[in-house]
Amino acid sequence: MADHHIGLIVPSSNLTMETELPRMLNARESIASDDRFVFHTSRMRMKHVTPDELRTMNAQTERAALELADARPDVVATACLVAIMAQGPGHHCVAEADITSALRAEGSQAPVVSSAGALLSGVEALGARRVAIITPYMKELTAKVVDYVEDAGIEVVDALSLEVPDNLAVARLDPADLREHWRRLNLGRADALVLSACVQMPSLASIQPVEDEAGLPVLSAATSTAFRILTELGLPPVVPGAGSLLGGQVPRPAGSDAGTTAGRSSSGTGPSHLGTGR
């Protein structure tokens, strides 16, 4: 039996990443009992999802990475999608490189995953070129997410903003509501549906039911992060009941290694469409 140590960098007000990710990987243990997962978290202060607070939080990334380096995790995931995407297209590459540099300076060889980069690679792994997305963000930030995704070559055919600026309020949203929210999107040209483009907005309980009803692959920032974590650990990215991305039928991301890790020491104003005209 192998213990896999996962380091998480999360906003201080995040309640969901440390809930949904362990639930997924614990569910995986039911079909692959030889692998167990242990979580270690470092937090960065942030209470409201605004551009200013996101920038302030990002400035704490090196400190959080250094704290995790001391635990010698097998993989590190930084989990605030919008904090990275709000900085402009391609910023996940910069963020991942900065965290990697901090880890290496302390002797940690852990690979680094960001929820922003993971979402893009999750869509790619599904072979999707056009997606619809739901976010909890205000329209301004949703627009930045749309621009970011489209800069990566993925067309966003429709987007729905739930407009909840308080991060704790986002965590308290009922994931069951997503089983109705998705119906407000125009999915006629979509290859996949991003049910939650935010690791704070709970969605895991609705991923499989919405996929079954919508008839197209459904993923989230959290399921995409789990997919990347498992592939970086050299494990099959399979989690029961978590949608097609984790169903064991999609290829691993380009550049992922199938080896082992041995030696790697609210209140909003109500939902509204972004108004992109798509």
Whether 93 is catalytic:
no
* Closest-CA residue to 205 (of 173, 232, 249, 250): 173
- Indicate the pTM of the whole model: 0.87
How deeply is 241 buried, as exposed, middle or buried, from its count of CB atoms within 10 A (0-12, 13-18, 19+)? middle
Q: Is the pLDDT of residue 253 over 80?
A: no
25 vs 2: CA distance, rounded Å: 13
Share of the chain above pLDDT 90, in %: 59
Q: What average pLDDT score do residues 44-73 get?
A: 79
53 vs 39: CA distance, rounded Å: 26
- The chain-wide mean pLDDT, for the chain, equals 86
Which residue among the candidates 125, 198, 226, 245 is catalytic per the annotation? 198
> How would you classify residue 255: left for phi > 0, otherwise alpha for psi between -120 and 50, otherwise beta?
left
233 vs 258: CA distance, rounded Å: 8
Residue 194: the pLDDT is: 98
Residue 225: the pLDDT is: 96
Tokens of 208: 């499989």
Residue 273: the pLDDT is: 54
Tens of pLDDT, residue by residue over 70-94, are 889 999 998 878 888 988 899 899 8
Which residue among the candidates 10, 49, 80, 222 is catalytic per the annotation? 80
Tens of pLDDT, residue by residue over 161-201, are 999 988 789 989 999 999 999 999 999 999 999 999 988 89
Whether 80 is catalytic:
yes
Is the separation of the CB atoms in 10 and 77 below 8 Å?
A: no
Residue 276: the pLDDT is: 44
246 vs 227: CA distance, rounded Å: 6
Band (24; pLDDT cuts 50, 70, 90): very high
